[in-house]
Structure 1
């Protein structure tokens, strides 16, 4: 692979991601040398967009082990320009966007060093301007410039350190107080535990909940630790949610909150240990927003439950199922002037909050409701069974082979009298059967086909799988010996 191909391969949709720490079977791809070039390219890209400005750029990082060295590489790539660089230290993805908004910062561009919930060896870069997060084509342009970058000498940039996270937290505190209608401690008497998964979200306890009067005893894994020693930092992970559920029950808390590593995703657990993530979370925030915005549109990713659509419609709203990927649902929401863009993974972007996927603001909005949250979704029907299979595509070209299987699966489904395919579905294959539905789609970030199944009757998914699994077992480009079942 040429150096240009290696650089372009770092694109991960609307951000950059790669291996930052070499392992025995994974050589580093997001190297300091490449990140230095990317830093130089970002400045060049911004200068073209803002040719007459003296640029200010902020950089922050989550708890990953490679974060500091990658930040130094970014600064090295940008230091030869006469600009101001703000080192924000430990930060979150939504806070880095807000650095373009807050009067104390008002930066022209911001970079967050993160790879979300991925294992410790990964890292990545997310880019922002005041217009929002970088788009797919922006990342392509930045990487193309990085490929053309030349080594520069001299240091013209001014580098300063500034605490962004405290400013961001104080903003959340003020918004929650205003939303509840109290200037003091509106969460007094509430016992709330936080699981930060050793990512960047531990600030939410000391800087947000405690000033609002909440009892946070039992909060766990708040210290940043890039080895992630306790569980995956991911509100869409069963083990992580179980850890929070146990903390809530052990400490008899009223509510549990969990964040992913860079805090652009979150989820909750109620006092009974019931997970309020995925479809439950979509319904919960939809109920609050539809009360404030009657008839509003909620944009979701494609793999949401039919029960979610029924719930939203029952509240007078509209659901628009769209392509998986947080930038996809956000852009769709902006196009439709929707109140909310949200994915089952926990990404949630509210119109009232710059269409920013912000896990901490999502939690803040739920706290502002100042009500019994589980009661809001008491009418949301729950499936009796759910199951997911992940099929590894073992042969290149991955996208082409995956799409070919999806096309053949469409024909297969159409020939089944007991299945009814949704012909206007935008992503993969979605079909109904007598007691539920399923969707087969390409994974956004991995060489996988994901088959998600939901049924309203117990002991029916196994029968469906027994009928349909032979289709996948005949596909030669799939690793048929290592099917992942969840």
Structure 2
């Protein structure tokens, strides 16, 4: 019996597609994928209500991708959709099939599980209005569970479409036009050495199909070939080992810039010429500097765990507005869209994880477009003898930063976690020197005066876990905050706070 609801992961579908990890039972089989294909087409019929449906489908480099794709395509064609197989592609490219390209596409689908281990896989869905929301995914899974879909005897053949070439050309033309470097219009990155680390995911195209076309020297790029075993490191800009790998490569190759993508290229980070990572708060600061030069006074929407130094940089140095919202890339994107609809200009929604969505680019979280935007600025600065990271030289980084994760053993973990947060507020209110930060849209954020820092305790988006982020501007500040917080949380027996000891 399939537990369809368990396949939902927020606004995506994710599951275990391969054996090989102890305790993880396969629940995303070819049979499930075929039913999901039929259910998705039915959802499209119910929602968009047009007679001729066409769907483009791509995969990342995962081992399970080809089998799941074949089954998914079979389900869609039997349900009456015209289907285009885009081969290995990126998540942002699959959205772009719905708004550009030489085909008329109703929806795009990416088969991926982002940065998760080799045995996982999943589905991300798009229409021209953007990625589907949680409620849409729930409806698709409901259709699958009830077998509430129709099929047809007239099955159209699947067409091949190498859309990643069209998408790459779009990026190349964008960089050329926006940089407008004369007389090197065609090759604005001439003289710059830029290396790419794709982590054996789907992002290897960026070196040959984008950077090489723009004149960059990409020799020394690494792990460009798709390999779903991920033999070198996890394709994840948040992973320390992955970031260290690209940092080392930049130094080894004497490169001007390093670029790293996650598996399906909806997230990215960069490394400067000295081998310093530009991710998390620094990446947000850098793209904010570019955006606020183009759109002065705009609101930058970020997730909840960004630093006080970032807020000061955006508001005091860049003269913008920083709205610290909730974790979850769809949350920050939807909040930025909401602000624009209400008349408050917001051109950037970005998470510390590297998800960045720009108003100018359909509010699509696109790691390659983010890098393209930064490359435009790099080309302009290089022409004037300046460096890209000169833009964030006044960003104040915390002295210390650490994340802890508490497991919740209580069956009703959501209610229990909310009780922890409410009671923690009451305890903090009685302490001198600790102040609850308002406004705050997620969990409990506290400013710690003596420790020159802050912490945020919140519920995980999907799991029985409470993440805790602590930052401090002084040495030993994180430890001091952690120890005091351990005492406040000691009474909560359903919370595994051994991580603080």
* TM-score, structure 2 normalization: 0.93
The number of equivalent residue pairs is 481
Question: Of 348, 352, 355, which aligns to 1:347?
Answer: 355
Say whether the 8 Å CA contact 1:14–1:135 is kept in structure 2: yes
Q: Give the equivalent residue in structure 2 for 1:112.
A: 110
Question: Of 5, 8, 33, which aligns to 1:8?
Answer: 5
Say whether the 8 Å CA contact 1:263–1:359 is kept in structure 2: yes
Q: CA deviation at 1:292?
A: 0.5
The DSSP-based 3-state class of the residue aligned with 1:79 is: helix
1:449 and 2:457 matched: no
Q: CA deviation at 1:473?
A: 4.0
The DSSP-based 3-state class of the residue aligned with 1:158 is: coil
Q: Give the equivalent residue in structure 2 for 1:418.
A: 433
Unaligned 5+ runs, structure 1: none
Following the alignment from structure 1 to structure 2, what is the Cα–Cα distance between the partners of residues 51 and 157?
A: 19
Q: Deviations over 1:284-340 (max 9, x none)?
A: 000001000011111101111011111111211111111111111101111112100
1:319 and 2:328 matched: no
Mapping of residues 25-424 of structure 1, within 5 Å: 25-149=23-147, 154=153, 156-182=155-181, 183-314=185-316, 315-337=318-340, 338-369=346-377, 370=379, 371=381, 372-424=387-439
Q: Deviations over 1:69-106 (max 9, x none)?
A: 11112112112133310000000000000000113133
Q: CA deviation at 1:479?
A: 3.1
Following the alignment from structure 1 to structure 2, what is the Cα–Cα distance between the partners of residues 449 and 484?
A: 13
Compared with structure 1, are the counterparts of its residues 413 and 105 closer, same or farther at alpha carbon in structure 2 (3 Å cutoff)? farther
Q: CA deviation at 1:114?
A: 0.6
Q: CA deviation at 1:477?
A: 1.7
Q: Give the equivalent residue in structure 2 for 1:476.
A: 493
Say whether the 8 Å CA contact 2:98–2:106 is kept in structure 1: yes
Q: CA deviation at 1:394?
A: 2.9
The DSSP-based 3-state class of the residue aligned with 1:17 is: strand
Q: CA deviation at 1:143?
A: 0.8
The DSSP-based 3-state class of the residue aligned with 1:210 is: helix
Q: CA deviation at 1:484?
A: 8.4
The DSSP-based 3-state class of the residue aligned with 1:442 is: coil
Following the alignment from structure 1 to structure 2, what is the Cα–Cα distance between the partners of residues 251 and 50?
A: 50
Following the alignment from structure 1 to structure 2, what is the Cα–Cα distance between the partners of residues 472 and 431?
A: 14
Q: CA deviation at 1:154?
A: 4.3
Q: Deviations over 1:169-228 (max 9, x none)?
A: 111000000011043111010001111011000000010000111011111111111111
* Root-mean-square deviation over aligned CA pairs: 1.6
The DSSP-based 3-state class of the residue aligned with 1:216 is: coil
Unaligned 5+ runs, structure 2: 341-345, 382-386
Say whether the 8 Å CA contact 2:486–2:500 is kept in structure 1: no
Following the alignment from structure 1 to structure 2, what is the Cα–Cα distance between the partners of residues 115 and 83?
A: 24
Following the alignment from structure 1 to structure 2, what is the Cα–Cα distance between the partners of residues 280 and 451?
A: 20
